[in-house]
Amino acid sequence: MRFALLLLAAATVAAAQPGPVMQSILPRLESARLNLVETAELFSEADYSFKLTPAQRTVAGWFEHTIEMNFGSCASLHSTPGPDPLKYKGVTSKAELVSGLKASFDYCAEGFKSMTDEKAAAPRKVGKRDVYPVNTMIGLLINWNEHYGNLVGYMRTRGFVPPTTARAQKAKK
């Protein structure tokens, strides 16, 4: 009986460990979070109203959009409803958007870290459709990197060194 309990405990611990898929995804979450939060902190309050062209989003608009996407998409990784994704709609304050961005990434990180490879590949009902958490996570990773890539143009135009470049330059020294 004791041996069976030990085997069950070991199997439970092993099942809760991330497999190769989640071991690949989790560091990319942390990298995207670092890039976007450092970018949000880099811009001045005045820069938050800056647009590269009239047709593009403001800096504030990029962060508002990312916060909405994070709260909205990461809700499917949780078993209970999360924060209102529209809470930051129209917000332009740097302090509020930096705080919201951090909170939205914390919320996403909870969902990502709750996943094993098995859970990530199991469908979940969202409304009437099946959603696979792994699709949500990969989609977010792609979007976060696209958002950062767009913001690099804003940073360069304003004379800022993007965080990824700054870290690479620091590592060379």
Which domains are delineated in the chain?
Answer: 24-166 (1.20.120.450)
CB atoms within 10 A of CB 95: 9
| Measured torsion, CA atoms of residues 120, 123, 126, 130, in degrees rounded to the nearest 10 | 130
Q: How far apart are CA 162 and CA 159, in angstroms?
A: 9
Q: How far apart are CA 20 and CA 29, in angstroms?
A: 15
Query: If you search the block for the tokens 């809700």, which residue do you land on?
Result: 75
Q: Compute the average pLDDT of residues 51-59.
A: 96
Q: Three-state DSSP class for 115?
A: coil
Q: Compute the average pLDDT of residues 131-143.
A: 96
pLDDT tens by residue, 9-21: 444 444 557 799 9
pLDDT tens by residue, 4-51: 444 444 444 445 577 999 999 999 999 999 999 999 999 999 999 999
- Ramachandran area for residue 105 (φ above 0: left; ψ -120 to 50: alpha; else beta): alpha
pTM, full prediction: 0.88
DSSP-assigned beta bridge partners for residue 129: 126
Q: Is the dihedral of CA 30, 81, 75, 56 positive or negative?
A: negative
